[in-house]
Structure 1
Amino acid sequence: MKKIITYITLLCLVSYSVIGQLKKKETPSPAQKSEKKQIIKENTQTTALLQLLAKHKDGRIVLRWSPVNPKVWDDGNQYGYTLQREVIRRDGKFLDRREKSFVKSLVFAGKSQWVALAEKNDYARLIKGYFYDQPIPVWEKDTAVINNALKGRLIFSMLTADLSPEVAGNMALSYVDSTVKANEEYVYTVSQNTAAGVSSAIQAKITAGLAVRIPQFAPGNLVDLDFVDSTVTLKWELSTRTVYTAYHVERSDDDGVTFKRITSTPYLPLGNSANLKEISYIDHVRELHKTYVYRVKGIDPFADESEPSNLVRVYAYQTRLVSPKNLDYSFVNNKAILIKWSFPDSLLINVKGFNLYRNNGDKLEKQNERLISKDPPHFHIAKIKDHDENIIYTVSAVDLREKETFSDPLLAIVIDSIAPAKVTKLKGKIDKKGIVKLSWQPSVDRDVFSYDIYRAEGLNPNDMYMVKQVTAKDTSVIDSVNLRGATRYVYYKVIVADYHTNYSTHNDTIRLVRPDIFPPDPPKFTALGNTDSTVVLNWAASSSEDVMNYKLYKRFLSDSTKKLLLAFPSNQMITTYADKDWEEEKPMVYILEAIDGEGLSSGDSCQAKIRVLKPLRRAAVSILTATYQSDHDNKGVKLQWKYISKKPVVKYLIMRKSGKENDFEKVKDVSGDVLEFVDMKVNAKTEYTYTVYAFFVDKTSTYSGKEAKVRTR
């Protein structure tokens, strides 16, 4: 019992220190007296000033009550309490009127009773000092000091009363009713006595009876929180269904067959009771590699033990392990590496196995899917990824509680002869100032040294040369090109280089188009001529590659309006045009315009001017037929002709000759709108040759035209 006195004494230091302060105080002023009254008044304004519990055992009902603030407790110590019992139910039926069984007055025990109890009860010996050995000085008037002292005494008085029924009886805080009957149910009322009599304001009631079932609870959810260095940390929940003042922890060394209490005194959880939700307890075991079983029992305010909690099994082992040593590596092939290590055989009983980790920058990546066996020899084969270079490995020993002890890191150097992965999503653009912006998705390799930028201009995209080199962190670059290149296209390629001078292969090539800010070169007229009815033009196409369309215009010099003659795409390869809509002696100009994909035009620089002169002779009449008709009324030679001319014909001159040696002679003039004639002045059996001339308004005439022969009958 000496241990519990020592333990509770630690909890009592606060109240004893308050008593020590009392001796140093001076007589309070009237203002301090008023403050004392106010503080005591505030402390008594609670909804439940007394708490009353009841339980039955051995055919008796045991009552236990507690004041909840220092003022009520202090008054109860001075004036005591009144206990009343009333019968409310008999043989299972409620009574019409309650029957008052008894009224008892209970008072705080005198000094002689405390001295007698203290000789055999350590709790009484501890708490007696509060009331008789070190009472609060009567001259102390500081309300704060008085209230603090009362609070401390209240706390430890209730604690000792909970742990000792005899102490609770001396404090007039408990009562054992041995006169109860099994067929009756009672209401117990505890009221605090005052100087004026029994108080109805400070009281508590509870219903109890031997037939009233009181459920039994045990501390819940006992778990093994941790085990380190032969130390077991247990944890269980603070019960919300019953009240436990303290606990006893029990341990079994024979797998739960028998249990022995390891708390020689009741275990009192420390902390703010308002916030306390879990309780912890630490036990130290002496023997390792053995299973211990634990359980917890609660101690209620009647000093009775609860049912035991659930069982927790703890295997004790050596938790302080050495780390794996002597890490080494060797290559199985270019895809696998063998990691081996050593670990003391004497400590293998404390581990489940091993894990192999690879350091990937900010995290460790486990290399084994399952725990590596603890049986020697200790090794594991890990995969090597493409483009791996310097790999850091760590081995951990996993103990029986899954805790890991890590080795020193091992650096494995991989000889890299593998080309790095190429960049992806290469894209770029050339602006109208010739600035090139390239970007890409970086290589997936971690050992990239640089990105080499290659460019090709001209007709052969394979003739590339390096123009830039950027660091591995860059994913874009800026270049510049001449907008007046030989071709519209510029080719780029990004090659990845690693630290071992390996270069990426099968790299993507991007083709960029120079922005079109210059008009295309104009086409050129190569030939220009005319016939009697047509002006014929010939030309050569523009030398620019980006020409999409051509347009041919005509404009008379006396007019500023252009007339579109022909529009065609460049892929039709048209190089000639015949214009039939013209006027003699009227100057005109032909304009051929080239248009590129950006809508830029070569303008009017490709021009051909022409004036069709009035000829001395015009084209002959080339369509002429002569037939002999023998009917009586129109006997003779019938002539028919056709002539097409832009100029109006005034008349046609019909000429004839007979035989082969004679010259042509005039037969007749006919109007310009007449296209046939019958020559009736012919001789029989004679061969005639005819020709026709056309005469125009401008006094010009045609050349000698087609001759038509006919023989009369």
Structure 2
Amino acid sequence: MKVLLSILFTGMMLPALAWQQPKTNKVVKPAAPPPQQLPAKKVLMAGRALKDRILLRWAPDDPNAWKLCNKYGYAIERYTVARDGKALPKPELLKGDGIIRPQELEKWDSVMLERDDYAAVIAQAIYGETFGMEMGEQGAQNILIQAGELEQRYTMALYGADHSFRAARMAGLGWLDAKVKPNEAYFYRIRSLVPPAIMNIEPAVVYISLKDHYPLPAPRLSKVDFGDKIASVRWNFKTQRTLYNSYYVERSENGKDFKSITDKPYTNMTADDAKDAEMLTYFDTLQHNDKKYYYRIRGVSAFGEVGEPSNVIAGSGLKSSGVNPFITKALPSKKGYTVYWDFPDSLNDAIVKFSLSQASSMNSTYASLIDSIPVGKRSFEFDPGIVSYVQVEVLERGGEIRRSYPFMVQPEDSVPPSVPIALKGRIDSTGRVYLDWSRNAEKDLMGYMIYRSSSLNNEFSLVQDTAWKGNSFIDSISVNSLNREIYYAVAAVDRRYNQSKYCQPLLLLKPDVIPPSDAVIAGYELNDHGIRIRITPSSSKDVVKHVIYRKNINGMNQWEKIKDTMSSAKEISYMDSIKAGGNYAYTVIAVDSSSLESQPAQPLTVYIPVKVRGKINELKLGVDRQLREIAVEWSAMAENGMIKSFELYRGGDKQKISLYKVIDNRTATSFADKDLLVNTKYTYGIRAVFSDGGYSDMQVKTVVY
């Protein structure tokens, strides 16, 4: 995980600044930039997992953004995205308590300031009336002075926050979450509450869990050079800059009892991207040359934690002649280059030999090229091979080695490295991407540029803006997106910044945590064979099947799977050859290649009528004018046991036949119709109604009354 902004500052003790009550708390509202004219500012954030809590640190990447955020504050949100090693279908949101902003001046009490010098630095940066700059100038000069003061306040506030987590929290730049569980994983998002109309500031996110806890490792002390009552303590600053931003230098006179010789953590004073910022050097003055001293270092993280001590390097001061060789020039020659240097001939008797060493950068470790050059020589021919720095060293008879200032030798080189091969990788369920490839063989290889894209049709973008030294890389991406495909490519770059072409892009599939979109029941048709259901399938690309369910609404009211269909057509048609009548509901679920299911489609309810079966065997009509009635008689059916009732239909001369009477007696075989008109022709029909809702065919006859 990348650290916050690297706050580059001197390692000297920073005195607590004098308090000055601000005259006003007003913040000048800058004019809104024209759309798409200025790039958005960002909030950068880092997380640190302890055994039972998670610490967060953040900071805007711009002084003006920091000033506005101090006024409007921040909002923090925590999303629980995984539990017991499984991604949650829906992240659980927990919002922070209110608006996070610097605490009021009254809360930065004197006890806190006496106990924490960094708190005093931050408080002065936020609330101090002035910050070490004269404000008497007018016009453009005054604007420049104010801009410089804001830059100083911003730098000092972030420097103090990097060395005191408690002060960082008071300054609205840190947060502690103790409501965490060891079986859960979280996304934290910090966002600025500055209105976008004033300044557009992008939020920051961090993925972390308690399982990410690790003890801070011991840094590596590279070397200690001893001179005449002086020791030069050197270590690599860049190799562990993601862990430590400053260091304590410790010394011991017996190899056991170490004490810090830097009151405050020591860090580099140059720009973070400078080539000579790779190594840090601390000079210690020795009281004696004939006494052995032991040195080690401890790193300090952005959360104010102090790591384990480094390895120990010991030595003693050496009496020196006080003269260093000086490289004057390096000229092309038959074998490569000839290096020329100056050293007084009068001191030849005081030295043992010259030697020549080489390094890939000015402050990296120098390797010996030629170990022994006669004391009378002042030049040497060699083949540098690649762009490099050389040093001439002189070994004095007292054992002290004195070195020249590094001199760059730069052969012409326009040939890029070979294209990296054998790129492979994988993505785990949390979105971490693991890549590795075969290492290039070029001696002047500086590293690799890693590129990423969501499509082969889109331009690849750099994952990080500096060359990656190794041939394996871990990236982090969001798995909660609809696009599952992601492509990676790697290019090699040498120390002359000649870059190879991309390797063959590698396609990786994100783990599937998003269910497919819902299918839709588009319609249905009833026919003699049953019911045909028409389905519009899910639009998700990774759907492998659709599962159709049915339930009898009048029955057990439980869904029953009736069909798995693998069809990829734009519309799916399914014939349900159901014979029984009644009310039925249908729905469908889409299932993707990761066995994730969509929500059920809106159910379709259909009434399926029972088919006509059987017929009353005989219908008789008898006219009795004395009783003034028509006797309607019929014969029983074979399905008599299932008959629920009879339906009697009647029609006249000018009336169509329609339902006339419902006879609820299932054993009835006759009916007397007395509601009659003389000289009228009547048509009668009779059919049986069954208990399951079906009915028989109708028997029809006509008579004249």
**TM-score for both structures, normalised by structure 2:** 0.40
**TM-score for both structures, normalised by structure 1:** 0.40
Query: Which has more radius of gyration?
Result: 1
Higher relative contact order (CA 8 A, sep 6+): 2
